Homo-oligomer: A and B are copies of this chain.
Amino acid sequence: MTGVVSWVFLNNQFLQEHEAKLQVKDLAVQRGYGIFDFLKFRDYHPVFFDDHLDRFFNSAKEMRLEIDCSRDQLKDIIVSLIKKNNNPDGGIRVTVTGGYSPDGYQITQPNLIISQHKFSSPTKEQFEKGLKLVSYSHQRQLPHIKTIDYLMAIWLQPWIRENNADDVLYQKGGIVCECPRSNFFIVTTDNRIITPGENILKGISRKKLIEIAKNYFQVEEKNITLEDIANAKEAFISSTTKLVLPVVQIDRRRFSGTTTVTSKLFTELSKL
């Protein structure tokens, strides 16, 4: 996701990006309280639209943020924004904050922000290069909700670079969870695909990938240990922006370069 594109929808109107503003007493600014979802669109059409909206409304409900418009109204606004910005391909971020709290603590009427973003799908070169991950002991709070909390992920950036890694893989007590913006998978030597099933945010790409993978492989949603990683044949991540990318290294564990299963899944997911 790189940069907001011209028009933004804020609460009940379309505004130019630099005019889309929130009062500083919003609960996101005061207390980091908010949720979002991010979906992509191709040829002006949102991809996995209903899956993203399902998750979005669920996040809002879990965080007691009352969305002031119906699902259909929200769809209409998103489609209108895409037309208005007139780029056939890109990403839409729907953010909801805790609103202008009278005491800086209570949730009030939320602010709804819909912004459009450019992003580039991973290139062939990026797929071939793969990702280097470094593990860090951390468990996201309220992991099943897509909150705006990326405090740890951003705070860790210099440490990730010091470790010559592209991203961090959270683990807690040796049990691997997820990356800050993607889900994690391994492929065992007997071609089983394993991905964590709890204490994670369940990505839409993850969901689609599991559905596809079940046509070809045995898929298991269960804990992955650092030892499982040591014994794995392949590892990869999934996300809306990155689709599927091979992981070539986690800490000191290098993967051999085989990406047969990962490539197969990338090809199949790309078709959707």
Contacts and interface: CB of A to CB of B under 8 A. Distances in A.
Interface of A: 1-4, 8, 10, 17-18, 20-34, 36, 63-64, 93, 95, 97-98, 102-105, 107, 113, 115, 117, 138, 141-142, 147-155, 158
A117 B141 contact: no
A240 to B, nearest CB: 14
B102 A3 contact: yes
Given A29-B95, A34-B29, A151 B149 contact: yes
7 contacts: A3-B102, A22-B22, A30-B148, A31-B153, A32-B147, A105-B150, A142-B155
A4 B25 contact: yes
Contacts of A147: 32, 151
B34 A32 contact: yes
A29 B113 contact: yes
A265 B23 CA distance: 39
A32 B151 contact: yes
